[in-house]
Amino acid sequence: MPNHPQLLVSVIIPVHNGGDSFRKCLSSLADAAPHPYEILVVADGESDGSWRLAEKFGAKVLKVPTCGGPARARNLGAQAAQGDILYFIDADVTICPDAISQVANAFTQEPDIAALIGSYDDAPGASNFLSQYKNLFHHYTHQIASEEASTFWGACGAIRREIFFSLGGFDESYYRPCVEDIELGYRLKRAGHKIRLCKDLQVKHLKHWKPVSLLRAEIFYRALPWTELILRDRKFINANDLNLKLSSRLSVMLTFAILSALVESLWWSGFLAIAGVLSLILLAINAPVYQFFLQKRGLRFTLQVIPWHWFYFLYSGLSFVIGTASYHSRQWLSPSANLSLAFRK
């Protein structure tokens, strides 16, 4: 059997007031076997002493006085890293004890991959319904996706150091936790690199989602900027992967059709029957999703999932329409926009 050089894994964590979740994150890294080559924590304008906690756990800390967002923080961590592999995780996740070996082995066994991503596990840290639903849905989406990924993921994503710097790292124009990881993934694909989805590389998400925080993140920090990326890089995107699957797009159209039929039923009751038929079709298309939740959390939980899932289709579709109109408006109003995008590419 050929001998492969041992790849060194540098873990990079941006943190802004990480709290108890960050403590659990660092504790899980301390329990990792083998340990990462180094842990770099970028304290991004924090004010709760997260950097002191990181030092107690033996991490190398880079302090940034003003918050500039995770893209800049990750880039700063990468510049200070010495490992062959840059393994990015969020401050509100915990890793499995063998995660470092999983990452190192994947790159060793598949020398042609440039990057890899994992997924959330099926046991989210927060116990409230919305956190359980959102993180389990993320887990399900990644577990059924193609292993030939088309995006990167900053919460649990690793990349070869030299390739990361050849592409210029994360786009620092994203000042908030946004789609900077997806955008990097699209640049990786555009450059001809391979990204592997390792379904057994899983992290536990500890975030406690509430309705307002979830909708703000989903619409303003994901859906709208992601729409611009889709329109900008559409020829490089796998249109049947993750949240872009054909079933999801059909579900969006059906959800709006159901809503329209319900509105029309105010004038003609026959539209209620149409809405009922469309609802059955929507249920049938998403039966695998609901079967997953039924197995994991039971009937009562699944019945709560359905309206939230349909609401997800509604605001995702609306965000895409608004994002598309905004994108094309800027293109039409500003002839220099194409030049600006060319430079970003």
The answer to whether 127 touches 121, Cβ cutoff 8 Å, is no
Six-digit token string for 58: 């033996």
- Inter-helix orientation angle 287-333/270-285, to 10°: 100
Structure confidence at residue 157 (pLDDT): 98
**Number of H helices and number of E strands within the chain?**
13, 9
The answer to whether 327 touches 266, Cβ cutoff 8 Å, is no
Structure confidence at residue 197 (pLDDT): 97
Structure confidence at residue 46 (pLDDT): 87
For 152, other C-beta atoms within 10 Å of its C-beta total 26
Structure confidence at residue 80 (pLDDT): 98
Strand, coil or helix: 56: helix
Architecture of domain 9-209 in this structure: Alpha-Beta Complex (3.90)
Structure confidence at residue 339 (pLDDT): 41
Domain residue extents for the chain:
9-209, 242-344
Structure confidence at residue 177 (pLDDT): 82
Q: Where on the phi/psi map is residue 217: left (φ > 0), alpha (ψ -120 to 50), or beta?
A: alpha
Separation between Cα atoms, residue 99 and residue 74, nearest integer Å: 19
The pTM score is: 0.91
CA-based end-to-end distance of the chain: 41
Strand, coil or helix: 152: coil
Residue appearing with tokens 């990349």: 159
The answer to whether 17 touches 56, Cβ cutoff 8 Å, is no
Block means of pLDDT (10 residues each) for the chain, length 345 residues? 74 96 98 96 92 96 94 98 98 97 97 97 96 96 92 96 97 89 94 96 97 94 88 61 74 95 93 96 97 98 97 94 85 57 42
Structure confidence at residue 330 (pLDDT): 76
Separation between Cα atoms, residue 207 and residue 209, nearest integer Å: 6
